[in-house]
Structure 1
Amino acid sequence: MPRKGNRKRLKFRADDVSSHRVTVADFANSDPALVKSGRVKKSVANAVQKEVKALCGLEASRVPSEDGLSTLSENGHYGSSEELEDIENNNGTFLRKKKSKKQKEDSLVDDIGGDYPIDIWLVIASYIRPEDVVTFALICKKAWTVTCTAVFWMRLYKRHYQMSAYLPVRFLPECMYRLRALRACVIRSLFHMYEPFCSRVAKNPSLPESTPNTLLNSKCLLFWCKKAEPGSRPEAMWEFNFKFKNPPLKQKNHCVNGLQPPAEYKEVHFNPDQDCCLLQVTTLNFIFIPVVMGMTLTYLTINVSTDMRHHRVRLVFQDCPVLKGKKPRGDQGVQIVLDPVHSVHLLDWWHPKYPISTMA
């Protein structure tokens, strides 16, 4: 039995290599001791390249040099785990160079999809339903930019405009050409004309169950009372309106303002009632209420009245919001009790019964 040190090594000669002598066994079953790196010997690679050029003619002169042929892996496949790209030298020959990490990322981005001009997105937006505007804006940045333009909102308004629908003066076609607060006006007009939005308002309860928790720590911007519109009831009822500004949401990132519309469309996105809601309480008689404008609502309950026929609303206002998890003290702040209460409504800024701001 021969020793390990006397292991016989095979010898290859470039002159002996030809199309008849180069076999798969020379590559797949080669002795690992021949080439420790796992590559084919340079002499064999040059002989193979010479043979290929002779068979293919002039077209083979542009075949990569031995650097390309020497990248045979241990499994017998060309190439390596790293991506390669062909580059041309000054003398016309081609070499193979590893791609950088940035080039790989750019090539992946190019393979994902194409970059379409904003005009195409504007044409597609002409077929978007009002309830799908948010989904369309989340496709890409150009689709979102289209939803910021005045053309998009005017086309949306004209597609769903109905002459038979009752609209406030501000939402009539002759007043919609004002760019200021155009987006807010179009959204509010759709709740008068667009049937899916109208049915959504009709199905929602007048006072959601989450109302007390929703209005906590909201700032009272405005308060007024007036006589309610005459209805089927003979009593002279009074309507108390509290306009609240919802507290800003705590965002996880440091971008407080988020994605802002382009400067040329800021007037279109202007909305003085953004993140505002109206608490409308209708009572059977007039009740004196102290001034609470500028204060923060820290407590709100809606219970059954003492006569078991109506509701009883209790509100507590303080100068500063209450920390989460702590209950406000009863002896602090301004307390308002409305009893008996006929109805309670919570209206968002887009609701048809929400009053129109004079700044719009």
Structure 2
Amino acid sequence: MPKKGNRKRLKYRAEDVTSHSVTVADFANSDPAIVKSGRVKKAVANAVQKEVKALCGLEASQVPAEDGLSILPENGQFGSSDELEDIENINGATIRKKKSKKQKGNSSAGTSGDDYPIDIWLVLASYIRPEDVVTFALICKKAWTVTCTAVFWMRLYKRHYQTSTYLPVRLLPECMYRLCSLRACVIRSLFHMYEPFCSRVAKNPSLPESTPNTLLNSKCLLFWCKKLETGSRPAPLWEFNFKFKKPPLKQKNHRHNGLQPPVEYKEVHYNPDQDCCLLQVTTFNFIFIPVVMGMTLTYMTINVSTDMRHHRVRLIFQDCPVLTGKKPRGEQGVQIVLDPVHSVHLLDWWHPKYPFSTMA
């Protein structure tokens, strides 16, 4: 194997390079040692600089020889034509330099698209299906602003309203003129009138398998129980209701809290039941339950009852949430055992059977 030091290098001299001898072949067939370094020889750079200045009508002595390297990139390659810009004209010859990343970003931002008035987005919103509202709001900020207006939600309500459908008093047309919680009321009414939403509620199981994990670290806001009179059974059933407030979702970027609706439409988006759900547990007998309002649900299980015919629900409430990955201790909180259980339902705030205040 020949030693690297014995490799013959091609020597250039500035006086040997003229305008007739500087060709593409001089760079394409140059010595591999020069190509590997990624830089052009200083003598060649000075010769090219002298030739360029001569073509521009300037003397090469006006520019230091060291500055000749600045017009050639270190890797020996020039950028594409769209990355270059004209900086000045010298005797009819144009010198171009490479655009910076900041300049490229500003130039592309000005030609990214057209800015349409909000009236056009309001007209397009009249043809949006209820299940596509989120997709429409993500198009641009003006489209999102349209979904915040009271006009958008009133048009959506009138488009799907049916006189033959039963609605609670608060969701009737004569009560929808109130701007307070208008968005929440329209969403609730769609689960009574809009067939795709109604079928979605009918297909969902009464108790999803993710219920124990969904309610973990949820705060109990309200609790009540009532007796259910059934004609087919000799003994009545008892329904225990737990209203929970789900914990907020953890965001990866804490500095970005999401867009907030405009101030003039803040009343339209007001929803006291946002992120709330109702846990309904129906038992065959009345069971005494201690006061757990204001406490946090840290543990929940649904097992088979002791008679192997029904379910058994176990709830543990504590004063503070439990860290992820740690199991709560039963002796540190309040434990509730409901057994035997007839049925268990988990209702979100938009569910037709979810009880909400008519004053909202």
Matched to 2:331, the amino acid is D
**Counterparts in 2 of 1:332 and 1:36: CA distance versus 1, 3 Å:** same
Instruction: Output the CA distance in 1 between the equivalents of 2:234 and 2:244.
Output: 31
Measured against aligned partners, the alpha-carbon deviations of 1:172-220 in whole angstroms (never above 9, x if no partner) come to 1111111111111111110001111000000000000111111111110
Measured against aligned partners, the alpha-carbon deviations of 1:291-327 in whole angstroms (never above 9, x if no partner) come to 1111111121111222222211111111112222222
The alpha carbon displacement at 1:234 in A equals: 4.3
The alpha carbon displacement at 1:44 in A equals: 3.7
Percent sequence identity over aligned pairs: 76
* Residue pair 1:284, 1:340 contacting (<8 A) in 2 also: yes
* Residue pair 1:273, 1:357 contacting (<8 A) in 2 also: no
With 156-165 and 322-331 compared, the bigger mean Cα shift is at 322-331
* Residue pair 2:170, 2:358 contacting (<8 A) in 1 also: no
Matched to 1:171, the amino acid is L
Are 2:203 and 1:193 equivalent residues in the alignment?
A: no
Measured against aligned partners, the alpha-carbon deviations of 1:227-281 in whole angstroms (never above 9, x if no partner) come to 2263654431111100001111222222374321111111011000001100001
The alpha carbon displacement at 1:45 in A equals: 4.9
The alpha carbon displacement at 1:36 in A equals: 3.2
Relative to its length, the structure with more helix (as a share) is 2
Question: Counterpart in 2 of 1:135?
Answer: 135
* Residue pair 2:84, 2:96 contacting (<8 A) in 1 also: no
With 343-352 and 142-151 compared, the bigger mean Cα shift is at 142-151
Matched to 1:41, the amino acid is V
Aligned to 1:219, the other structure's residue is in SS state strand
Q: What number of residue pairs does the alignment pair up?
A: 322
* Residue pair 2:169, 2:358 contacting (<8 A) in 1 also: no
**Counterparts in 2 of 1:283 and 1:84: CA distance versus 1, 3 Å:** same
Instruction: Output the CA distance in 2 between the equivalents of 1:37 and 1:6.
Output: 9
Question: Counterpart in 2 of 1:357?
Answer: 357
Question: Counterpart in 2 of 1:112?
Answer: 112
Question: Counterpart in 1 of 2:63?
Answer: none
Are 2:164 and 1:164 equivalent residues in the alignment?
A: yes
Instruction: Output the CA distance in 2 between the equivalents of 1:334 and 1:78.
Output: 70
* Residue pair 1:72, 1:79 contacting (<8 A) in 2 also: no
Question: Counterpart in 2 of 1:328?
Answer: 328
Instruction: Output the CA distance in 1 between the equivalents of 2:137 and 2:99.
Output: 35
**Counterparts in 2 of 1:277 and 1:9: CA distance versus 1, 3 Å:** same
Question: Counterpart in 2 of 1:286?
Answer: 286
Question: Counterpart in 2 of 1:227?
Answer: 227
Matched to 2:85, the amino acid is L
**Counterparts in 2 of 1:97 and 1:353: CA distance versus 1, 3 Å:** same
TM-score, normalization: structure 1?
0.77
Matched to 2:228, the amino acid is A
The alpha carbon displacement at 1:72 in A equals: 11
Question: Counterpart in 2 of 1:36?
Answer: 46
Measured against aligned partners, the alpha-carbon deviations of 1:74-115 in whole angstroms (never above 9, x if no partner) come to x9x9997852147799xxx99877655443212111232222
**Counterparts in 2 of 1:100 and 1:329: CA distance versus 1, 3 Å:** closer
* Residue pair 2:79, 2:98 contacting (<8 A) in 1 also: no
How do 1:185-334 residues align onto structure 2 when only pairs under 5 Å count? Answer: 185-228=185-228, 230=230, 232-255=232-255, 257-334=257-334
Structure 2: which 5+ residue stretches go unaligned?
Answer: 1-10, 28-40, 58-70
**Counterparts in 2 of 1:239 and 1:102: CA distance versus 1, 3 Å:** same
**Counterparts in 2 of 1:149 and 1:242: CA distance versus 1, 3 Å:** same
**Counterparts in 2 of 1:79 and 1:44: CA distance versus 1, 3 Å:** farther
**Counterparts in 2 of 1:79 and 1:288: CA distance versus 1, 3 Å:** closer
Aligned to 1:342, the other structure's residue is in SS state strand
Matched to 2:113, the amino acid is G
* Residue pair 2:283, 2:340 contacting (<8 A) in 1 also: yes
The alpha carbon displacement at 1:167 in A equals: 0.6
With 77-86 and 231-240 compared, the bigger mean Cα shift is at 77-86
With 181-190 and 229-238 compared, the bigger mean Cα shift is at 229-238
* Residue pair 1:188, 1:351 contacting (<8 A) in 2 also: yes
Question: Counterpart in 2 of 1:83?
Answer: 84
* Residue pair 2:14, 2:47 contacting (<8 A) in 1 also: no
* Residue pair 1:35, 1:41 contacting (<8 A) in 2 also: no
Aligned to 1:213, the other structure's residue is in SS state helix
